[in-house]
Amino acid sequence: EGVLPQEYTALKLKVLEWAPKAAEAIKGKIPEDASVYLCPATLRPETMYGQVCCFVGPALRYGVFKASEKEYFVITKRAARNMAYQGIFEKDGVPEKAVDIQGSDLIGTLVHAPLSFHPQVRVLPMETVLATKGTGVVTSVPSDSPDDYAMVTELAKKPEYYGIKKEWAELEIIPIIQTPTSDLLAPHLVKKLKIASPKDAKQLQEAKELAYKEGFYQGVMKVGDFKGEKVEVAKPKVREQLIKRGEAFAYAE
C-alpha cells in the first residue's frame, strides 16, 4: 500500500426495493421516513454513466449505519469507523449500527444508480470484493473495468448457480469513454487477454493496469455533461457534480 491516502468517491445508491431476506432483517429497525443507501467507493467517478449493477461480497458482513436522522448507509464496519473519524456522519464517536446484514442477503436488492443510463440496477454477488478496502461495496462498470466485465459475464452465464435472475446481469453495456484502442476498453482487453472468468487473477491484474492507464491518460468522454472533454479533466468535474447533488461524498483511506 502507498503512503498517500486514496481519495475515493463514495456513491449513494438508494435502496428502492429490498431483497426478501434483507427486508426481514431491517423490518422495524429503520425509521419509515429514512432512506437507505448502498455506498460503493470508486476511483473512477467519470464512468458512473455506465453502472449496470452493484457488487457485494456474499460472504462479507455489512451493517446499516446511521449517517443522519434521515440517511442510513450499507457498508462494512471498518468503513463506518473510518467515515465516523472523517466526520461524514452527523454524530461524532462510535458509528451507530441499526442492522447487521450478510452480503448474500442483499443480493437482488433494487437500487437507484446516480448518473447511470440504467437508473435502476440490482445488487449482485462478487466473491473477490475485499472487506479490507473501500466500503466493501463496488459499483459495476463493465465498459471500463475488466474485473466488472469478467464478473457480469460470469453471472449471465450461470445465473442459477449464483441464485440470481439472468436479466439482472444482462443490462446493455454502453460506451462511456473513447480511447485510441476502443470505446469499450474493458471488454476489448478481457477478450484480447483471453480472460475466461473472474478467477483469472493474473491476466485481470494486467488488464486492469492497461485499462486504467489508457482510460485516464488517453480517454475522452463520449457521454454526459462533459462529453468531448479528456477524462483527466472530466473526472474531478463529474465528482463535484455528484457531491453537489448529494449523490456522493468524499471518502479517503
Binding site for ligand A2H (CB under 6 A): 6, 41-44, 47, 129-130, 133-134, 136, 138-141, 144-145, 148, 208, 212
Q: Residues of 157-195 as b/e, b for ≥16 C-beta within 10 angstroms? A: eebeebebeeebbebebbbbbbbeebbbbbbbbbeebeb
CB of 131 to ligand A2H, least distance (A): 7
Residue with Cβ nearer ligand A2H (112 or 133): 133
Residue with Cβ nearer ligand A2H (3 or 92): 3
CB of 59 to ligand A2H, least distance (A): 13
Residue with Cβ nearer ligand A2H (42 or 82): 42
DSSP-derived letter for residue 230 is B
CB of 24 to ligand A2H, least distance (A): 26
- Whole-angstrom CA distances from 158 to 51, 54, 135, 150 are 21, 17, 27, 13
C-beta nearest to ligand A2H: residue: 134
CB of 90 to ligand A2H, least distance (A): 24
CB of 79 to ligand A2H, least distance (A): 9
DSSP-derived letter for residue 105 is H
**Which amino acid does the sequence have at 42?**
T
Residue with Cβ nearer ligand A2H (145 or 178): 145
Residue 47 and residue 248 in contact, taking contact as beta carbons nearer than 8 Å: no
Closest CA to 230 of 216, 241, 240: 216
Distance CA 253, CA 247 (A): 20
Residue with Cβ nearer ligand A2H (101 or 138): 138
